Every structure is written in structure tokens, then in C-alpha cells.
Structure 1
Amino acid sequence: MYQSSLLESITLVYGDRLNNALHTPKPLYSKDVMKKKILIIDDKPAIGQLITLYLSADYDFRFFSNAMDAYNWLKEGNSVDLILSDYTMPEMNGYDLLIMIKQNEFLKNIPVIFLSGEDNSNTRISLLEAGADDFILKPFNPLELKLRIKKALK
């Protein structure tokens, strides 16, 4: 009885929109719904725009120009499937960000790929030892980036 009157009340308020929503078949698979979310962290917004331009058909993006802001956003409960981060940034570098992510019980399993113009083997090794999943040197090939993201998300 209660369910019936509740449905009638909702129908009065929403009318045909409710009826159409209830009776319109929904696809079992929608590419937009299934897009993975990638967090881009780089002090240069142009990098975020470039990555978004190349990969927006396959992924959804959130961009931060500051590593600490990005980390705080993640700690608030926002979820992503992968993190793409610059290494050299003001206020907090990529290594410190990676350590904080890997020490957080809720974030530690998110794959992290670094993009950096710093061509230093010791930096790459320390990041990989600390838990980074990959390191790509800037300037990067968009197809290579796409393939490495796909591999990290498996």
C-alpha cells in the first residue's frame, strides 16, 4: 500500500519523465560510464591539456597543478584509477607525493606513472623502488603514453 501511494506521488511530481525513465531500455554497456579516471598532477597546465586532448576519448581526467592539493583531494575520498604525475614541482616533488600515497591504506594500490623532463637514472630508480609503476620522459609520444597507461590499468 505504502509503495503504491509513494509511486503515485512521485508520478504526480515527475510525470512523463519518470515513466520514460522507467520504461526506456538502458544499454548494458556505455563507454562513458566505463571510462577509467586519471588524475594528472603537473605544475604546467599545458601538459594536462595535451594529455586530455590525446586521451579524452578513452579516459576521464582530473587535473591539479599542485601535488599537495591533489593528495588532499584524494584523501577526501575521491577515487581515481591511475595517477600521472610530474616529478619536479614546487612545494612538493613527485617522490614525496608517491611516498604519501603508498603509505595511505586507501590509496596505496593506485598505479602511479611519472612524466618528467628530468633524465636522471637515479631519480627513475628511486621512484620505481618506492612503488612507481612507470616513468616516461618528456617530451613523450602520446601513443606510448596511452599504451603504458593501458598496461598499468590491467
Structure 2
Amino acid sequence: MQLKVKRLTDTAVLPVKAHPTDAGLDICADEDITINAGETVTVSTGLSIAIPEGYYGRLKGRSGLTAKTLLRVQEGTIDASYRGEIKVICELRALTARKEPGRWTVIMRSGGYSIKKGKRIAQLIIQPLPTVDVVEVDEMDDTDRGDGGFGSTGV
């Protein structure tokens, strides 16, 4: 499969896999931006992509960045027909909790997190998209789970 990519700026970095067997292509910021605690922003990538018909793109956070910082990438969906600039939705967590012996401590963060142009901030995963026909029915079949949800099997 080919993924056609257009640079919208001279500084945009093409998506690339760090290792040939990686699921995601690294996506880089194309702007310098500081995100303040509790703030949600969209970060420019300077890229437009053409996802083949029958597929869609998922933008996800990079695991190392998520594990080691309070920056969170909100998952995004890129439809095959979209040709605008890819932007990454990022937020900086304002609260975190730390377990101390016998209790949890909530820590309020202030300040910001700086993203520099060229920094890898997300990953793009291309996935197949099945054709789905919606069929209205009068009754649903029974299952072991039934209507149990939202922690019905434990937290």
C-alpha cells in the first residue's frame, strides 16, 4: 500500500516508522507551541495525506511520551476522503495522583509543556475499514453479558 503525503510547508516532516515492523508512523509537530496545564490545543503537522479507499487513519499518542509526561494525545480519526492538514489534538493534564503509603495524593500542576517543531508527538496507524450496513431490528439476541457495561465485570 502507498500512502500519498503532501508537505504543506517546507519544514514539515514526512511520517516514518522507527522500525520496519512498527504499527504506527511517527507524526511530528510543524510548529513551536506551549500547552498550559488543563489546556487542549491542535498542533499543526504541515502534512496532508491521501488514505486509500477502504481504510482510515488513527492518530494516537506515542507510548513513551504518554508514560513519561503529562501530555496526552486525543485519538483522532482521519477519513479516506479528507485532504486537509493533519492536526493532532493534544492536552496537558492538570491533575495527577500519586499513591503514598495508605493514601492517594492529588497533585495540581501548573506551567506548561513545550513542543518544538520537528518533535515526534503522535503516531498514525492505517487500518482497514469494513463496509457496515445498518439494519433496524425489533429485538436483540441474548448473550451472557446482556446489557452489563461500565465496570460490570470489575474495574
- Normalising by structure 1, what TM-score? 0.24
Structure with greater contact order relative to length (CA < 8 Å, sep ≥ 6): 2
> Which structure has greater strand proportion?
2
- Normalising by structure 2, what TM-score? 0.24
Larger Rg: 1
> Which structure has greater helix proportion?
1
